[in-house]
């Protein structure tokens, strides 16, 4: 292990500060990257594409939101602020009372996981810049490649431009799942929480006590053990709560660890200059709003500017920000709960060939049925999902007469659903079964093995495209800032968002038998920031002519759009406004989604239709057409741009790439 434990005295060197200056989302190992060069290349290669336009729309929306926020700030009177100041003081006392320094949490995260696994299988890759994925998207890059600015979620053809010697290795989930399982063998916390294939949270309080070892020593031991079992390195963070432990595990990556002592003053010092973006749940949009509208750059400033936060955000969001500013996070072990659905899906090169589509549908139905059999599940609701060539996502559901897991049943109904959509060129088909028969459902958590507590993010049924590579939208499934949504077009937004949704479904819902309550944990820890609607709510409160002025001065946010406060997630993952599914752990995507609805509202407001609450309802019913592009875009339809749409390019790139590979 190259990097040993860093004591808390290292905090004074503020190891995170350099992250401020690195490219995009400060992936570990990208500190020396020529940011400008990378940005220029990315810009040049994507300019004019739909992706680019989408980014521009997002940017415009964000600016709009920031302006709104500034306006609202400016309208706050000194007596408002003084009232909010009191609220903050009270909340600080209340939150402080919840501070728990009695636990020791460890967050462990594998280094360049997929790339490291591939290098194990092929040691000749060692020391060479390589990426896992294809020309359309890469899943991760090793640290050698990161020096060139190559990173997860980047289209491979851009990565190759940045690093001409970059070696591409196709993804192989079976391998990663195998190695992930190997890393889970340790005996430090039987109830550990696995966030994805390559990371886990462990409460090591008991093991530290029983063995008389420090958190840092346990982290060293665990990392050595992972290395000896797998040949892979990982990094760890040790702290009083999960939020801090996760921040810490990134500090000395790769192959390092960072321990934050469990005392308040060390925590507060650590937090004092920690950039807000380092906190899970604070994504690009929130970061910009906080920074550009309120001047909040560090976690500590969340406390200093608490009164603005309470004035402008909903109480739960403000509470979250304040607790971050105080270095608080969850320390309890989440409970288990059952999952709601099981699904299977497949991504492939877009095709309108009906025979091919029906054959893929049959394969998926078979896979889904197999999984249901294995899990002892029967269900009644079948949902078909399609992603069209133009990235439109369609979702069609049918309620069956009886509970079933039979592939024949599934296929019969899925075929009907698909038939109704044809002709159309499709790039993804997914089937989901939900509404389980609880009586025969084999979901007794008490039977659980450790693996049942794992959220197996990546091991679910998914086939990447037949060429073994991703498409652009897959790149947007990342939980970092490359997640892309359009606010200017409903359809595009849907498509992008649903891509995220589908990734999530592949990632979490589908495969877990019993999951931890981590979703809830994360929801509580992080999702509070997702209430983009809160901006609107408060904005409305500030308006003198608002209809709900009876509550205008009330600190409790009151929405003129009651269905938006807060954005409701039916069953914890379905947006009550439009039905899109986004589980709580996809914090950033949810935020984007919330932002989307907010944008809609703001646009409506500007166009004078703000009083209407119906658009969202129309969206739920799938009948809404206003403000949106035509629903069905023919595959061969030109978008009017003189540039080649980026997804077209990707398809071409894939083909070229695969041809190149075959040579």
State the binding partner of 28 from ligand DCP, Mg ion, none, CB within 5 to 8 A by kind.
ligand DCP
CB 92 within 8 A of CB 326: yes
CA distances from 487 to 62, 459, 476 (A): 10, 31, 15
**CA 429 to mean position of chain CA atoms:** 21
Report in angstroms how near the CB of residue 130 gets to ligand DCP at its nearest: 12
**Is the previous residue joined to 553 through a cis bond, with omega within 30 degrees of 0?**
no
Beta-strand relationship, 234-239 and 257-259: parallel
Q: Which does 253 bind (CB under 5 to 8 A by kind): Mg ion, ligand DCP, none?
A: ligand DCP
Residue nearest ligand DCP, CB atom distance = 478
Q: Please tell me the count of residues contacting Mg ion according to CB under 5 A.
A: 4
Output the smallest distance, CB 588 to Mg ion, in A.
17
Interaction partner, residue 91 (Mg ion, ligand DCP, none; CB < 5-8 Å by kind)? none
CB of 288 to Mg ion, least distance (A): 26
Catalytic entry in 144, 199, 504, 505 = 199
Residues with Cβ within 8 Å of residue 292, at least 6 apart in sequence:
66
- Of the candidates 55, 144, 198, 375, which one interacts with Mg ion according to CB under 5 A? 198
Q: Count of H helices and E strands in the chain? A: 25, 18
Closest to ligand DCP by CB, 478 or 493: 478
- Residue matched to tokens 């079976």: 174
Specify the stretch interacting with Mg ion by CB under 5 A; choose among 91-99, 144-152, 193-201, 498-506.
193-201
Phi/psi of residue 626, nearest 5 degrees: -60, 155
In the list ligand DCP, Mg ion, none, the entry touching 27 (Cβ below 5 to 8 angstroms by class) is ligand DCP
> Is residue 458 part of the contact set for Mg ion (CB under 5 A)?
no
Q: Is 12 exposed, middle or buried (0-12, 13-18, 19+ CB in 10 A)?
A: exposed
Among the listed ranges 84-92, 111-119, 157-165, 168-176, the one in contact with Mg ion (CB under 5 A) is 111-119
CB-nearer residue toward Mg ion: 88 or 247: 247
Distance CA 344, CA 90 (A): 49
Residue 5 a catalytic site member: no
Q: For binding to ligand DCP (CB under 6 A), which residues are involved?
A: 27-28, 109-114, 139-140, 152-153, 198, 253-254, 478
Closest contact distance (angstroms) between CB of 531 and ligand DCP is 25
Contact between 110 and Mg ion per CB under 5 A: yes
Tell me if 279 sits within 8 A of 250, measured CB to CB: no
Which of the choices ligand DCP, Mg ion, none does residue 510 contact, using the CB cut-off of 5 to 8 A by kind?
none
The percent helix, strand, coil of the chain (3-state, each to 5) is 50, 15, 35
**CA-CA-CA-CA torsion sign (64, 66, 72, 74):** negative
Question: Of the two residues 233 and 323, which places its CB atom closer to ligand DCP in the complex?
Answer: 233
Cis previous bond, 566, omega within 30: yes
27 vs 597 by CB, closer to ligand DCP: 27
- Burial-class residue 88 by CB neighbours within 10 Å (0-12, 13-18, 19+): buried
CB of 176 to ligand DCP, least distance (A): 7
Instruction: Mark residues 18-37: x for contact with Mg ion by CB under 5 A, - for none.
Output: --------------------
Give the nearest distance from C-beta 115 to ligand DCP in angstroms.
6
Contacting positions for Mg ion (CB under 5 A) = 109-110, 113, 198
Q: Which residues are catalytic?
A: 199
């Amino acid at each position: 292990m190259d990097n040993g434990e860093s004591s808390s005295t290292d905090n004074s060197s503020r190891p995170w500060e350099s992250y401020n200056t690195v490219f995009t989302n400060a992936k570990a190992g990208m500190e020396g990257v020529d940011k400008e060069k990378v940005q220029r290349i990315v810009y040049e290669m994507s300019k004019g594409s739909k992706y680019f336009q989408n980014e521009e729309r997002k940017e415009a929306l964000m600016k709009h939101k920031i302006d709104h926020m500034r306006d609202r700030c400016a309208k706050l009177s000194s007596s408002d602020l003084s009232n909010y100041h009191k609220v903050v003081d009270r909340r600080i006392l209340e939150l402080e009372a919840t501070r728990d320094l009695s636990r020791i949490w460890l967050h462990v995260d594998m280094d360049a996981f997929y790339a490291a696994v591939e290098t194990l299988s092929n040691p000749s890759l060692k020391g060479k810049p390589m990426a896992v994925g294809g020309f359309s998207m890469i899943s991760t890059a090793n640290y050698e490649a990161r020096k060139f600015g190559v990173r997860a979620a980047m289209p491979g053809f851009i990565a190759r431009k940045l690093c001409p010697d970059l070696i591409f290795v196709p993804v192989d989930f079976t391998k990663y799942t195998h190695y992930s399982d190997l890393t889970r063998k340790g005996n430090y916390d039987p109830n550990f929480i696995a966030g994805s294939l390559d990371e886990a949270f462990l409460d090591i309080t008991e093991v530290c006590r029983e063995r008389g070892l420090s958190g840092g020593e346990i982290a060293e031991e665990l990392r050595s053990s992972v290395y000896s079992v797998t040949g892979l390195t990982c990094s760890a963070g040790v702290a009083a709560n999960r939020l801090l432990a996760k921040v810490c595990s990134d500090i000395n990556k790769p192959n390092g660890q960072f321990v934050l002592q469990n005392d308040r003053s060390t925590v507060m010092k650590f937090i004092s200059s920690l950039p807000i973006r380092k906190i899970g749940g604070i994504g690009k949009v929130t970061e910009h709003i906080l920074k550009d509208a309120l001047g909040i750059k560090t976690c500590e400033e969340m406390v200093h500017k608490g009164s603005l936060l309470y004035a402008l955000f909903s109480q739960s969001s403000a509470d979250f920000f304040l607790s971050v500013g105080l270095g608080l996070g969850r320390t309890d072990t989440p409970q288990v709960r059952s999952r709601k659905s099981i699904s299977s899906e497949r991504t492939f090169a877009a095709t309108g060939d009906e025979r091919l589509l029906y054959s893929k549908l049959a394969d998926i139905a078979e896979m889904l049925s197999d999984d249901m059999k294995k899990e002892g599940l029967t269900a009644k609701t079948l949902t078909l999902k399609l992603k069209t060539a133009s990235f439109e996502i369609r979702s069609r559901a049918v309620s069956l007469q009886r509970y079933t897991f039979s592939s024949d049943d599934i296929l019969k109904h899925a075929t009907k659903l698909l038939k109704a959509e044809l002709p159309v060129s499709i790039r993804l088909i997914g089937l989901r079964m939900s509404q389980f028969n609880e009586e025969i459902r084999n979901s007794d958590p008490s039977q659980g093995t450790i693996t049942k507590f794992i959220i197996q993010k990546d091991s679910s049924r998914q086939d990447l495209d037949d060429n073994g590579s991703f498409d652009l939208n897959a790149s947007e499934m990342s939980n970092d800032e490359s997640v892309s949504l359009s606010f200017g077009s409903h359809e595009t937004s849907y498509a992008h968002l649903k891509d995220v949704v589908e990734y999530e479904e592949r990632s979490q819902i589908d495969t877990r038998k019993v999951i931890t309550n981590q979703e809830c944990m994360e929801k509580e820890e992080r999702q509070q920031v997702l209430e983009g609607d809160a901006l609107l709510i408060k904005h409305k409160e500030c308006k003198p002519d608002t209809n709900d002025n009876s509550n205008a001065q009330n600190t409790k946010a009151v929405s003129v759009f009651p269905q938006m406060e807060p954005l409701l997630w039916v069953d914890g993952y379905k947006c009550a406004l439009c039905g899109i599914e986004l589980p709580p752990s996809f914090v950033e995507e949810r935020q984007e989604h919330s932002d989307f609805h907010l944008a809609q509202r703001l646009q409506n407001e500007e166009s004078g239709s703000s009083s209407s609450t119906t658009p969202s309802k129309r969206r739920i019913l799938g009948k809404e057409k206003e403000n949106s592009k035509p629903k069905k875009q023919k595959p061969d339809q030109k978008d009017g741009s003189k540039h080649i749409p980026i997804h077209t390019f990707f398809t071409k790139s894939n083909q070229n790439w695969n041809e190149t590979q075959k040579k």
